[in-house]
């Protein structure tokens, strides 16, 4: 394969990134990008990832360069990447540092909608030289969304993520968007912030039909721990609501599997709740 350098425009940087095209050695410091690379057939190019890139299982076998926000530069230099995928949000400072040091960094926006998850797939496909396979994955996920059954009633869903404390998504989040596409409505869909710590007084005013709870870890006691937390926070009125427990880092993940697995799961949760109302 003939290698040549090419400038690929990046709308996050509002500038061109000078990279080997197609790249032979890819580093992904963003779990969503890592999953995308493997799902479009570019997994063999990935030589290193962040510690939280464990989707798909094969990604666990790649060299780990550090945490989500810090990189061991001596290992990064040994890997000699042609391109480095990052995201913004918590990685904003790391992305800036990599750019200042002259690394071929290609940042992606944090997905605030399901549409942005799809768009990022195409961006990763373009930058990695896997345009056609990224189109095919894009189409497959669109078909997955379009095949979901639509409930007659749109239940009001409260989502709580355990991120060291209770966090809930607002309107500009892929989770809130995913709930809507699955047939529900996030009870905090009017919030203009992506993620907030829900206040007890807010929850007491909202009408909730069902709860989706995402623990940090998968342990048998997580449901009881969540219910105890509701009591402690003065939310005993929510104890009679059905609670559907996801596995950890399920809804929070912004890769293709959010569309492939999470939205269909939420859709099944909604229909399960509807069955209890008959």
Judged on CB neighbours under 10 Å (0-12, 13-18, 19+), 45 is buried
Confidence of residue 4 (pLDDT cuts 50, 70, 90): confident
**Spatial separation of the C-alpha atoms in residues 102 and 70, rounded to whole Å:** 16
Backbone angles phi, psi at 233, to 5 degrees: -90, 5
Q: In the predicted model, is pLDDT for residue 49 greater than 80?
A: yes
- The predicted model scores a pTM of 0.95
Q: Are 155 and 206 in contact (CB under 8 A)?
A: no
Percentage, residues of the chain above pLDDT 90 = 91
**pLDDT tens-place string over residues 17-33:** 999 889 999 999 999 99
Asked: is 4-144 a CATH 3.40.50.1980 domain? The reply is yes
pLDDT digits (tens, 9 = 90+) for 181-236: 999 999 999 999 999 999 999 999 999 999 999 998 878 889 999 999 999 999 99
Q: Which residue has the higher pLDDT, 276 or 174?
A: 174
Per-residue pLDDT reduced to its tens digit, 80-130 = 999 999 999 899 999 999 999 999 999 999 999 999 999 999 999 999 999
Question: Which pair of structure tokens corresponds to residue 244?
Answer: 């559907």
Residue range(s) in the chain whose domain bears CATH number 3.40.50.1980: 4-144, 156-276
pLDDT of 220 reads 80
Core vs surface per residue 101-132: b (16+ CB within 10 A) or e = eebbbbbbebbbbbebbbebbbbbbbbbbbee
Whole-angstrom distance, CA of residue 198 vs CA of residue 258: 23
Confidence (pLDDT) at 217: 81
Range name among 16-25, 28-37, 132-141, 266-275 with the lowest pLDDT average? 16-25
Mean pLDDT, the chain, integer: 95
- The encoded tokens of residue 215 equal 């623990």
How much is the pLDDT for 94?
A: 95
pLDDT of residue 103: 96
CATH class (in words) of the domain with range 156-276: alpha beta
CA atoms of 86 and 50, how far apart (whole Å): 10
For the beta carbon of residue 56, count every other beta carbon within 10 angstroms. 14
């Amino acid at each position: 394969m003939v290698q040549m350098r090419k400038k690929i425009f990046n709308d996050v940087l509002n500038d061109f990134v000078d990279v080997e095209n197609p790249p032979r050695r890819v580093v992904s410091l963003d779990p969503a990008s890592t999953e995308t690379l493997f799902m479009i057939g570019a997994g063999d190019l990935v030589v290193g990832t962040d510690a939280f890139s464990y989707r798909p299982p094969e990604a666990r076998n790649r060299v780990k360069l550090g945490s989500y926000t810090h990189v061991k530069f001596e290992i990064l230099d040994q890997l000699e990447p042609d391109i480095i995928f990052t995201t913004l949000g918590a990685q904003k400072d790391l992305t800036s540092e990599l750019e200042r040091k002259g690394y071929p960094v290609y940042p992606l926006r944090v997905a605030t909608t399901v549409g942005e998850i799809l768009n990022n797939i195409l961006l990763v496909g373009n930058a990695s030289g896997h345009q056609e396979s990224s189109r095919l994955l894009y189409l497959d996920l669109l078909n997955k969304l379009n095949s979901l059954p639509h409930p007659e009633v749109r239940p009001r869903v409260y989502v709580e993520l355990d991120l060291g404390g209770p966090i809930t998504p607002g309107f500009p989040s892929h989770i809130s968007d995913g709930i809507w596409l699955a047939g529900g409505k996030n009870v905090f869909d009017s919030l203009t912030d992506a993620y907030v710590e829900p206040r007890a007084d807010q929850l007491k005013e909202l009408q909730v039909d069902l709860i989706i709870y995402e623990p940090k870890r998968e342990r048998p006691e997580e449901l009881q721990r969540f219910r105890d937390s509701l009591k402690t926070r003065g939310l005993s009125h929510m104890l009679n609501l059905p609670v559907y427990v996801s596995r950890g880092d399920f809804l929070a993940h912004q890769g293709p599997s959010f569309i492939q697995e999470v939205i269909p799961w939420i859709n099944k949760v909604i229909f399960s709740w509807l069955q209890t109302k008959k």
